[in-house]
Structure 1
Amino acid sequence: MASTIKVTASDISLYHVAAARLGDATQWWRIARLNGMDDPDLSGFTTPVSLLLPGVDASQDSGVPGVTS
């Protein structure tokens, strides 16, 4: 179930948000995709911005889908 949170530049990046809220920093892309974003950097947010946050899903693999090393 999705929820809404407010983030600012002090949250640093979606990596930090995903680690704190989803328990896995590599799932930052799920937050980005849900909010139409493609960059995890939050440094440009000077005022609080509402973001939809996906529910925790332990079945998600780590990493960004479609990206290989």
Structure 2
Amino acid sequence: MPTTIKVTANDISLYHVAAKQLGNAAQWWRIARLNDMDDPDLSAFTTPVSLILPATDASQDSGVPGVTA
């Protein structure tokens, strides 16, 4: 069963949510993709919004897929 959390503008961004929930801010895109979002900014959320979190995946520690340093 997927984990669901509530977020508001106080959570600032998906970067912050990913850092707290997944242990890596660079994985914000995984939360966005799972929730049909394309912007990490949460400032427009005036009421709590439910987000589904992906499972922690240590193989995703390098950030956005297909992008290398």
Instruction: Using structure 2 for the length normalisation, give the TM-score.
Output: 0.90
Q: 1:4 is matched with which residue?
A: 4
Which SS does the other structure have where 1:50 is aligned?
A: strand
Distance 1:61 1:20 in 2: 14
Instruction: Using structure 1 for the length normalisation, give the TM-score.
Output: 0.90
Which SS does the other structure have where 1:46 is aligned?
A: coil
Paired residue type of 2:2: A
Asked if 1:26 corresponds to 2:26, the answer is: yes
Residues 1-69 of structure 1 aligned to structure 2 (within 5 Å):
2-67=2-67
Task: Report the structure, 1 or 2, having the larger helix content.
Answer: 2
Paired residue type of 1:22: L
The percent identity for this pair of structures is 81
Contact 2:24/2:61 (CA < 8 Å) preserved in 1?
Answer: no
Count, aligned residues: 69
Q: Which runs of 5+ in 1 are unaligned?
A: none
Which SS does the other structure have where 1:59 is aligned?
A: helix
